Amino acid sequence: MVREPVTKEMLEQWKKVFEQYKDKLQANRKTGQELVEYITSKYEVERFKDEEADKVIYYNIMENEPLRSKLPSDTEPNPVTFYWNNNGNKVFIGVDLVSGFYFVEDDEVLWDELCAFQGLDEEDLCNYYCVAEYISCIKKFGMLEEILN
């Protein structure tokens, strides 16, 4: 996830990583349901239903063309939301079951872990930022060799 203003150097680095790995990766993107199963099996999360929280996920997708394009035609997001207590830090997690979009507030490590777990689809594999971010995340969790083999 981009956490700072994008610089020319960052763009150049992303393109370099993309060129290095683009032909070594295959589409392996997990669904929203698979993300939910991963989260709930690994973390003690509290699922909650809240209209305002659902709107955060819904509008993140609907107001962002690259995210909206992941929705099958004539469908809308179907968000599920959780709280996770990470050592006293209440982390908000949202996942759209339809598109696979996820949202993590206040925990960059969990966001990176979900990025590494989720993988990339065919469209993502053509996007140098998506590839570079994914490579960074799978390296962070020691998954590079497993993914490339």
Q: pLDDT-based confidence at 141, cuts 50/70/90?
A: very high
Query: Which residues touch 88 (CB under 8 Å, ≥6 apart)?
Result: none
Distance (Å) of CA 19 to CA 107, 121, 129: 29, 17, 11
pTM for the model: 0.93
- Judged against a pLDDT cut of 90, whether residue 19 lies above it is answered with yes
pLDDT digits (tens, 9 = 90+) for 64-108: 999 999 999 999 999 999 999 999 999 999 999 999 999 999 899
The 3-class SS string of 104-135 reads EECCHHHHHHHHHHHCCCCCHHHCHHHHHHHH
More confident residue, 3 or 79: 79
Rounded Cα–Cα distance for residues 134 and 130 (Å): 6
On whether the CB atoms of residues 11 and 46 are closer than 8 A, the answer is no
3-state secondary structure of 103: strand
Percent of the chain with pLDDT over 70: 100
- Amino acid 4: pLDDT: 84
On whether the CB atoms of residues 118 and 35 are closer than 8 A, the answer is yes
- Amino acid 75: pLDDT: 95
- Amino acid 3: pLDDT: 78
- Amino acid 120: pLDDT: 98
